[in-house]
Structure 1
Amino acid sequence: MMTPRLLGYMITNWNTSKRDGTKWTRWGRQAKPRVLYYFPRYSSNRQHDQYDDFCRVKLMLAHPHRDPNQLRKVNGVEYASYALAAEFCYGNHQHPDDYYGTPNTDERRPDPDQFEREFHEPDLVEEDWLELARQLPDCPPSQEAIDLLGRRDIDIQYDWTPHVGRYADPGIVQGDYWRQQIEQDRLDMDVEDLPLEVRDTLNPEQRIVYDTFVGHFQCGSEEQILLHVDGGGGTGKSYMIKVLSSHLQRLAGDRPSPIWRAAPTGVASHQIMGTTLHSLLRLPVDRAFTELSPADANAIQKKLRDVRYLVIDEKSMLGLRQLSWVDKRLRQVFPGRAADFFGGMSIILVGDFFQLPPVANKPLYFDGPLKDLHEVSGQAAYRAFNHTVFLKKVERQQGDDQAGFRLALEELRGLRLSIESWKLLSQRVQAKLSQCEVDKFDTTLRIYSKKARVNEYNYDHLVRLKQPAIQVMAKNIGNGADKATSEQAGNLAGQFPARGSTHTPREARLLSWDVRVYTEAVPTYSIVRHYGSQVTEHHGGQDGDGSV
């Protein structure tokens, strides 16, 4: 049993943060004094109803005991309350300071005249457990809950034997799986071959962009085109890119496609069937920009040998520094036109500046003072774009019944929402929908601003399935791969939960695994096979480009 004196000595002089007592260490002589915080802290006012609890804590810190009731017995005399026992203790015993306070002494507070009086809303009275929970480390409960998947009774009792080797590939065992996949699925910019009649579905603004680049390619002009294409959500930017890419590809005949599509993020590049700017031009992610080695520059030259037009989508997410890197990289790749912006390649900047801004980077339209040389050169490259086409017609929401919704979206984009639009959107708040209407959104795509919310939703969904789950562990290759964060590994997790398969009709079966290879460039790979889902294809319209 630890005595109060020994407890005070340990708290004051030893670092007891480790669970293993053998790893406790003594605080250094130069360590700053520690601040002790007791919870809960009862009132020391003798007239307060918490005073008896205050005395109980004071006795606990001063007297050895095995049961709280023993604290009421002092010097062989048992008192009716902790307060009476403590009063006797105060008058007859000497104890070291326990930092819990002195009876009937108000806590030190600032002089009321020292500060200007301000009006504050009255504080809400919270339960003690809520106040305690607020002091705990900021660890999302959802992540802890996700880690429990795979350790529940239903997970442990499930027979996982039938799943072993079900989708085994000999290439994985032999170590040349990825080489085979690269040979079978070589990267190209080919898109779906659309008939020429599809160009008639383009609206006048889309047709201007289409005719400009098709005509430029047909006449074989070497003049560089630097063009902005601006348009809000649903104005058909992706559809226009798809039609233009398909018809330029057709005009190229047997040669590779003359147009390359890229975007700042993987999700955005997938939407236009392209690549990320970082993978295309080998741009740095979290380190300084450097020139390519001759071998790397030659590899990009080979990749872009027949490319004359580069489409950069989601330009709002592109910063001045990144645009400068794109400019410098293309100048190095095309040394014959290194004096021209982007090495003489024609660029189409597509997007909407009212959407997501760049992360830790100044936006392209920034007009304040600049000190970073990359940002200065990026601003010069941005100002070289001398033509702009605005897509104004909303193609995604058609019909008179959607007129109010189209107007609300346009007003939200310009931060000028009218009362009528606010009333329209307020009708679709979840709290005002019936449960039947809410259930219709169970399978819809959800967008969350925090990864913790994504984890929470995925966890709740897996729990509702009432199916066994297992934690899929990534196979890490290379020094430091096991310590690489998800961000360093291209958003691949070191582990994630997947549910086991059942053999009911139309039941989805999931097999997923990651191979995380950690080198200086952190190349990463991921395979996901998903069986049993319906696939619906949309052809010839601007509402969808073949979606799942």
Structure 2
Amino acid sequence: MGPTNKCATDELQMLGRRDYDLSYSWPTDIPNQQLQSTAVQFISTAKLQFQPPLNQPLPTIPTKTNLSSKQNLALHIILHHHSQKTTAQPLRMIIQGTTGIGKSFLIDYIRQKLNIFGTNTTNTLFVLAPTGIAAYNIQGTTIHAGLRIPIKEMHPLIGKALFTFQECFRHVKYLLIDEMSFLGPKLLLKIDSCLRQAFPDKQHEPFGGLSIILVGDLGQLPPVMDKPAYASHSTTLNLCRSFTIVVTLHTIFRQQGSSVKQQQFRSMLQNIRDAQPNKHDWQMLMNQTNTNFTLLQQNEFNSSIHLFATNSSTMLHNKRMLKALNLPIALSIARIAQQTNSEYDNNEQLPLELLLCENQ
């Protein structure tokens, strides 16, 4: 099922170390040591001073938008809560639904409506997502970056870092988190802890007294190396129980059409989502495998985006594609690879080796 440029795995391990790579006339204008040190210092300083992009350009949404009845209901609940100002209890709301029912569009619409109440420099709504791609798709920020959550051990913010963090949230009234199925007990507790720091006046309240809107589908990807937030110990379970309003979206916008094939495709997606695929669904998928395609048809997918279950499979595919370029490849080895294990632990999961190819 992989790409057509078949090659042994050990050949791929030699990329960047082949005679072909080593004998290539690579550019010699390498930055001097002083410039390298300046770059490292700049990156370290930028990380400490990073502020989430709370006020970034938003997509233009038509004034007259054909929202579904449930989308309108969700929007009405949020706007009605905001109109109550300080008299209302924090809104704890879940907007759920399968793929293609317009969750991302609704997020943009909610953001546009809520941020009308902000200013040129402040926003009322802060949008987060678990991964970089998910955050990019909704023009938000990752949970870890936006809430200053480190990848490894977590410590309370102090001093200037704490002051800057609190300033970022001073005008925020609502926190919206997309792809809620990614939230496990560990991450949910970290979010709760960070928000209690962001709002010290309400540090004894769940999520620092902030209104939280969770969006997503619990039938999609589960938390990484964790269990669902609702299947946890009492502390996290109490946080989950604070979400008392749930709106379920049903109208599918992405896979529309009334033909037999379109209906079958929608049915297959729903069955797979519910973990109840039938024989017809299986046959429909098997008709799209390489064994049913000609070599010419298979080659059309070589440059397509491939999805894999593990990082190792992804790396293997990327190396195969690099080798298929038939161009010299440079190997860059991180300095930390030469150091002790204790220092290696601080690499923030960055790769120790990087393969580079000119003009690619």
TM-score (normalised: structure 2) = 0.83
2:67 matches 1:202: yes
2:217 matches 1:314: no
Name the residue aligned to 1:282.
Answer: 148
Name the residue aligned to 1:225.
Answer: 91
Name the residue aligned to 1:134.
Answer: none
Q: Separation in 2 of the partners of 1:317 and 1:426?
A: 29
RMSD (Å), alpha carbons: 3.3
TM-score (normalised: structure 1) = 0.57
What do the CA deviations read for 1:331-366 (whole angstroms, capped 9, x no partner)?
233132234321111101112111222234331231
Q: RCO (CA 8 Å, sep 6+): is it higher in 1 or 2?
A: 2
Q: Separation in 2 of the partners of 1:491 and 1:397?
A: 37
Of 376, 382, 398, which aligns to 2:240? 382
Name the residue aligned to 1:302.
Answer: 167
Q: Separation in 2 of the partners of 1:405 and 1:490?
A: 41
Higher mean C-alpha deviation, range 207-216 or range 490-499 = 207-216
What do the CA deviations read for 1:477-516 (whole angstroms, capped 9, x no partner)?
9x8699526xx5344212111112xxxxxxxx24xxxxxx
Structure 2: runs of 5+ lacking an equivalent: 1-7
Shift of 1:324: 2.3
Shift of 1:470: 0.5
Name the residue aligned to 2:212.
Answer: 347
Secondary structure at 2:356 match in 1: strand
Shift of 1:465: 0.8
Q: Separation in 1 of the partners of 2:36 and 2:80?
A: 48
Shift of 1:460: 1.2
What do the CA deviations read for 1:250-299 (whole angstroms, capped 9, x no partner)?
44232411111223333433333323323333335444x55443544323
Of 485, 489, 498, which aligns to 2:356? 498
Of 192, 196, 202, which aligns to 1:327? 192
Of 427, 430, 437, which aligns to 2:297? 437
Pairwise mapping of residues 513-532 of structure 1 onto structure 2 (< 5 A)? none
2:76 matches 1:211: yes
Does the CA contact (< 8 Å) of 2:16 and 2:355 recur in 1?
A: yes
Secondary structure at 2:223 match in 1: coil
Instruction: Decide whether aligned partners of structure 1 residues 202 and 395 sit closer, same or farther in structure 2, where only a CA change above 3 A counts.
Output: same
Name the residue aligned to 1:455.
Answer: 315
Q: Which has the larger radius of gyration?
A: 1
Q: Separation in 2 of the partners of 1:422 and 1:183?
A: 50
Q: Separation in 1 of the partners of 2:342 and 2:201?
A: 44
Secondary structure at 2:85 match in 1: coil
2:123 matches 1:261: no
Structure 1: runs of 5+ lacking an equivalent: 1-140, 501-508, 511-548
What do the CA deviations read for 1:9-48 (whole angstroms, capped 9, x no partner)?
xxxxxxxxxxxxxxxxxxxxxxxxxxxxxxxxxxxxxxxx
Shift of 1:182: 7.5
Name the residue aligned to 2:277.
Answer: 417
Secondary structure at 2:212 match in 1: strand
Report the identity percentage: 26
Instruction: Decide whether aligned partners of structure 1 residues 266 and 212 sit closer, same or farther in structure 2, where only a CA change above 3 A counts.
Output: same
Name the count of aligned residue pairs. 349
Does the CA contact (< 8 Å) of 2:166 and 2:197 recur in 1?
A: no
Q: Separation in 2 of the partners of 1:476 and 1:198?
A: 53
Of 403, 414, 428, which aligns to 2:288? 428
Does the CA contact (< 8 Å) of 1:196 and 1:247 recur in 2?
A: no
Q: Separation in 2 of the partners of 1:204 and 1:192?
A: 28
| Amino acid corresponding to residue 325 of structure 1 in structure 2 | K
| Amino acid corresponding to residue 307 of structure 2 in structure 1 | I
Shift of 1:185: 8.8
Pairwise mapping of residues 32-47 of structure 1 onto structure 2 (< 5 A)? none
Name the residue aligned to 2:17.
Answer: 151
Secondary structure at 1:200 match in 2: coil
Instruction: Decide whether aligned partners of structure 1 residues 345 and 431 sit closer, same or farther in structure 2, where only a CA change above 3 A counts.
Output: same
Pairwise mapping of residues 456-495 of structure 1 onto structure 2 (< 5 A)? 456-474=316-334, 476=336, 483-484=343-344, 489-495=347-353
Instruction: Decide whether aligned partners of structure 1 residues 249 and 490 sit closer, same or farther in structure 2, where only a CA change above 3 A counts.
Output: farther
Does the CA contact (< 8 Å) of 2:331 and 2:355 recur in 1?
A: yes
Bigger helix share: 2
Higher mean C-alpha deviation, range 390-399 or range 224-233 = 390-399
2:201 matches 1:336: yes
Higher mean C-alpha deviation, range 308-317 or range 212-221 = 212-221
Name the residue aligned to 2:249.
Answer: 391
| Amino acid corresponding to residue 391 of structure 1 in structure 2 | L
Q: Separation in 1 of the partners of 2:61 and 2:136?
A: 24
Q: Separation in 1 of the partners of 2:17 and 2:144?
A: 39
| Amino acid corresponding to residue 355 of structure 2 in structure 1 | P
Shift of 1:225: 0.7
| Amino acid corresponding to residue 494 of structure 1 in structure 2 | L
Does the CA contact (< 8 Å) of 2:48 and 2:161 recur in 1?
A: no
